[in-house]
Structure 1
Amino acid sequence: MRAYSGPVPRSPLALAALATVAVPGLDAYDVRRPAHPGTDYDIAVVVDAARRRWVVRAPVHAAAGAALEAEVELLAGLDAFATDGTLPFAVPAPVGFAHLPEGGRAAVHEEIPGRALDVAELEPGPGLCASLGRAIAAVHELPTSVVENAGLPVYDAGAYRARRQAEVDEAAATGKVPPTLLRRWEERLEDVALWRFVPTVVHGDLTNERVLVGDGTVSGILHWGDASVADPADDLSWLLVAAPPDAADSIMEAYQLRRTELIDPHLTDRALLAGELALARWLLYGVRSGNEDVVADAVAMLEDLDEHTRTSPSGVAWGSDAPTAPVAAVSSYA
């Protein structure tokens, strides 16, 4: 078997050809690359003669190929919930596949209408904020079997807490985390009450680029390859950190109203802690990849966060001027 395609990306025309193989009758009229193609897949948007738009994804290495297969299994289950209205948004369920000569296969799905969420534009109230809260809550209400059946990770609360502790220990071993910040994290990880939660289905990599919006509602959620059964706080962290505070309040209100029997008094606390630990994962990403620029960036943000938490009257880490790690890079090491 030949190796995966490697660092040279497949051309848009090659991807369009794969789409025509994957979807019988697809007559490709135009093809273009997306605005944010990513690094694990070659991606193109194919427009057919009827002006329908299709997305083709081809893995560029074996790990991405394996991840795609697990995601495909999950998406088949999620699509059923989207079809019956359990999920109030669309998911990119593949409608066809094309085998690749080097191994693995490319997947094609219909493009979901909408644009990437702009967190800065969120306004409190019953509109998009409420839709976001309900959408995330709907994911967390799914039966965990949809993840288990796809062979994706399943954690109980204790195992997940141990996972986060291992990350903090590894970050501490670099000697680059400010001692007061490190103590802050260790105290929260040792607080057993904080980690009493019921694991749920989580997307695991929610960012503004993953969430599509249109007409004031969430129209779709993309990139489910990091889904697992884990801490629901992780899916809320990015919004609580990045959204305006009053908008975040509206999101959480809608989220809690949509959840059934939600008894988790420390959900917000863990979500904010997850935002802080994202900086540790950004540091580890730089160390593991040998990227000194990333390491320097992470160290600067950790120092800023340390200063922010020590000078904030409430001791709360996040605010409009608090540092946030680049989520796309962090997620690959989450």
Structure 2
Amino acid sequence: MVVVDILALARAHRLDLDPESLRFIEMGLDFRVVMATDTVGRGWVLRIPRYPSVMDRAAAEARVLQVVSRHLPVQVPDWRIHTRELIAYPLLPGVPGLELAGDGEPVWNVDASSPVYVDDLAGILTQLHAIPAAEVADTGIPIRTPEEVRETWSADIDRVAQEFTVNTALLRRWREWVEEDSYWPEHTVLTHGELYPGHTLVEDGRITGIIDWTTARVGDPAADLMMQQMIGTPDSVERLLDRYVRGGGQIWPRIREHCAELIAASPVGYALYALEVDNPELLDAAAMMLNPADP
């Protein structure tokens, strides 16, 4: 999608943009993101769907944003435009903690293991996970019990195994993890689902906002907690869990091992997404992730 198309799309939604202000962010699988300024100087974020199916979840995301905006100590998007073709909201303060440069190289705008960032993240997670499930019951997001979380994982693994060639050792690992009770929490909470630095906005190392709530659901709290284990230092993981518990969050004995298994099972979610959007490049990438030479 070129600049002229973006301008025309925005204009069709009564949003006049400065052509020189457009900046493209290509990190997301679901949406192409464009940062822009309108003709009176206000900043905007435009989310343009890469596939029609991703907009099927957008109505639920919009309702979740209304709920979390009342509870969190940081800002979340305030959608002013929401159609099948475009989502747009006023620019929030801060920059993404992680971005991609034009050549695809990661650009870090924050030290995700710093005490300040970790403490902010822990505070946000304790408040997010404390939101009663009843407040999002009518939003349309998935709401699962602990048993249903595991049943869903089992069904997803089976489907991926039917559609792809999966490394035998990986498949055995995933199934043993799902079956082993000691890994799993006995409670579910409202989660963001992809709370990594690219979805946190930061200023001077502090978190100012949380974006991209497409994957929000009531489910496994480790879906949010595992990200620090994936990208942070061991000390930062321990600090996050300590501050999370101090703030009222609930953990369980094998949470660290469980997070490691969640990380190892990430190709399952990627493969399901590739099947959903039926993208040949994503399907090829998923096939490689599911059958690596050295799992």
TM-score interval, smaller chain: 0.7 to 0.9
User: Which residue is 2:285 aligned to?
Assistant: 294
User: Which residue is 1:67 aligned to?
Assistant: 57
Query: 2:228 matched to 1:228?
Result: no
CA-to-aligned-CA distance 1:191-226 (integer Å, 9 cap, x gap): 123334211001122233211111221111111122
Which protein has the larger Cα radius of gyration, Structure 1 or Structure 2? 1
User: Which residue is 1:264 aligned to?
Assistant: 252
User: Which residue is 2:91 aligned to?
Assistant: 111
1:54-203 correspondence to structure 2 within 5 Å: 54-59=44-49, 62-81=52-71, 87-94=72-79, 96-97=80-81, 104=84, 106-118=86-98, 122=111, 124=113, 126-173=115-162, 176-203=165-192
- The alpha-carbon deviation at position 286 of structure 1 amounts to 5.6
Counterpart residue type for residue 11 of structure 2: A
Counterpart residue type for residue 269 of structure 1: E
Decide which moves more: 156-165 or 237-246: 237-246
Query: 2:24 matched to 1:34?
Result: yes
Q: Is the contact between residue 211 and residue 220 of structure 1 (CA under 8 Å) also seen in structure 2?
A: yes
- The alpha-carbon deviation at position 60 of structure 1 amounts to 5.9
1:212-291 correspondence to structure 2 within 5 Å: 212-260=201-249, 262-283=250-271, 289=278, 290-291=280-281
C-alpha distance in structure 2 between counterparts of 1:192 and 1:10, whole Å: 54
- The alpha-carbon deviation at position 52 of structure 1 amounts to 2.7
C-alpha distance in structure 2 between counterparts of 1:124 and 1:277, whole Å: 23
Fraction of identical pairs, as percent: 25
Aligned-residue CA RMSD (Å): 3.1
- The alpha-carbon deviation at position 236 of structure 1 amounts to 1.8
- The alpha-carbon deviation at position 189 of structure 1 amounts to 1.4
CA-to-aligned-CA distance 1:11-51 (integer Å, 9 cap, x gap): 23124425645xxxxx7445413323745445433324553
C-alpha distance in structure 2 between counterparts of 1:50 and 1:61, whole Å: 31
C-alpha distance in structure 1 between counterparts of 2:52 and 2:25, whole Å: 24
Q: TM-score, normalised by structure 2?
A: 0.80
C-alpha distance in structure 1 between counterparts of 2:109 and 2:174, whole Å: 28
Counterpart residue type for residue 113 of structure 1: P
Q: Which runs of 5+ in 2 are unaligned?
A: 99-107
CA-to-aligned-CA distance 1:225-247 (integer Å, 9 cap, x gap): 22110001011222212222222
Q: TM-score, normalised by structure 1?
A: 0.72
Q: Is the contact between residue 197 and residue 231 of structure 1 (CA under 8 Å) also seen in structure 2?
A: no
- The alpha-carbon deviation at position 142 of structure 1 amounts to 1.4
C-alpha distance in structure 2 between counterparts of 1:120 and 1:52, whole Å: 23
- Pick closer, same or farther for the CA change 1:158–1:296 going to 2, 3 Å: closer
C-alpha distance in structure 2 between counterparts of 1:148 and 1:35, whole Å: 32
